[in-house]
Amino acid sequence: MTFARAFAPATVANIGVGFDILGLAVQGTGDRVEVEFRDEPGARILSIEGDGGRLPREADKNTASVAAQAVLDTIGAQRGVGIRLYKDLPINSGLGSSAASAVAAAVAVNALFGSPLKKEALLPACMEGEACVSGYHADNVGPSLLGGITLITGTDVSQIYHMPVPEALYLALVTPAVDVPTAQARAVLPKSISLRDMVAQTGGVARLVDALYRGDIAAMGMAMEADCVVEPARAHLMPYLMEVRTAAKRAGACGLVISGAGPTLCAVCESDAIALACSVAMKAVYDDRDIASRVQQTQVDRTGARVQLYE
């Protein structure tokens, strides 16, 4: 094979109360990467589409090429690869854009060399890519690579656990045209919290895990909104957060939280019809205030990253 193309889905990290330890993959949207052999060693960016010229082309600064290089190093490749990155995810959107690029690149390079590594073994390379922009953690790369809803307790694949995905779980996403860089969103977080808040936060995570195992989406929504640490610190970065939450709940949502670092907001719903109604209601909040936004009704992507090969 001389050419491989991979797709990695968007993600909703944290799922509200589970900061840096919970995430889910989203159907229908993500980044694509095409890779081809080069005689020169190493990973190189050949082109990027969809980023408006905002992403770095240097191999050591782009998440896709850093992840690709990590795969090359792991398998001891003598040949290099050229990378074409197609950004379908907006940058700084809270949908795991940088992680999706890293994951797609790692999966594509591995496939191009005959898949010497199992999918799970690509996690370190994906985290190397993510680390160059937002830190060495797996709350986005884990679900993007492996799919489903994941509980992440460390940086090794053995520390990532697949949670049950309720059959009737639907998501409504709204992304306003506002940049919230991950570094900015992390900078506003408190350096310490009270014992009372720690107990409340861990209790919220426990309730969320319990709701997932019982398939109780109403309880899931309530537990997701139990975040008393991260959302209060970041709320001012999300335009009209409370207004959008109110609109979504009036349309039938069980709960609404910030997706990752934001500004995308994610509502959990019990049917596709409710998710559609929530999308319309959430977009109307921004339309009324002359803020452009895009919405999506979707479900959890259970597959994660996937690849196609070409002669």
- Enumerate the active-site residues: 130, 182
User: What one-character-per-residue DSSP string does 197-235 give?
Assistant: HHHHHHHHHHHHHHHHHHT-HHHHHHHHTT-SSHHHHHG
Cα–Cα distance, 269 to 275 (Å, whole number): 6
The identity of residue 184, as a single letter, is: Q
Q: Which residues pair with 38 in a beta bridge?
A: 80
Q: Which letter does DSSP use for residue 298 in this model?
A: E
- Say which residues have a Cβ less than 8 Å from residue 295's Cβ, sequence separation at least 6: 172, 173, 174, 175, 279, 280, 282, 283
| Length of the chain in terms of residues written | 311
3-state secondary structure of 310: strand
Cα–Cα distance, 208 to 18 (Å, whole number): 9
The identity of residue 286, as a single letter, is: Y
3-state secondary structure of 93: coil
Cβ-based neighbour number of residue 55 at 10 Å: 21
Q: State both tokens at 197.
A: 């808040």
- Say which residues have a Cβ less than 8 Å from residue 208's Cβ, sequence separation at least 6: 15, 16, 17, 18, 22, 220, 223, 224, 226
